Amino acid sequence: MHRCRKLTVDELGYVPLSKTGAELLFETISQRYERALTLITSNLPFDERTEIFGSERLTGALLDRITHDVHILEMNSDSYRLKPSRRKRT
């Protein structure tokens, strides 16, 4: 089995996951839990995450693993992708 030292999940919640997708993500996070680095980015607040996974139970279990012994960075700024577009307009 190939072991990935760092896994980045970008824009979690941009598209809702199917039941199978949510279960596979849970399995992946569970296997990596406290063993390997996992970076997750999302624009959704924690209380809206149930919409991504479809199940309160699965969301709770996943958030329990994701938020244990972590650093949470909340960034409330403009998108870095929009900055060049805005500069071109001015």
Q: Around Cβ 59, how many Cβ atoms within 10 Å?
A: 20
- Is 48 a member of any domain? yes
What letter represents residue 24's amino acid? L
- Is 24 a member of any domain? yes
Domain ranges, residue 57: 6-89
CATH code (residue 76): 3.40.50.300
- Is 11 a member of any domain? yes
- Is 1 a member of any domain? no
- Is 10 a member of any domain? yes
Per-residue pLDDT reduced to its tens digit, 8-60: 999 998 888 898 999 999 999 999 988 889 999 988 887 787 888 888 898 88
Domain total of the chain: 1
Residues in contact with 8: Cβ distance below 8 Å, sequence separation at least 6, in sequence order: 38, 39, 40, 41
Is residue 88 pLDDT above 80, yes or no? no
- Is 46 a member of any domain? yes
- Is 50 a member of any domain? yes
Per-residue pLDDT averaged across 54-74, rounded? 87
pTM of the model: 0.72
Q: For residue 90, name the pLDDT band (cuts at 50, 70, 90).
A: low
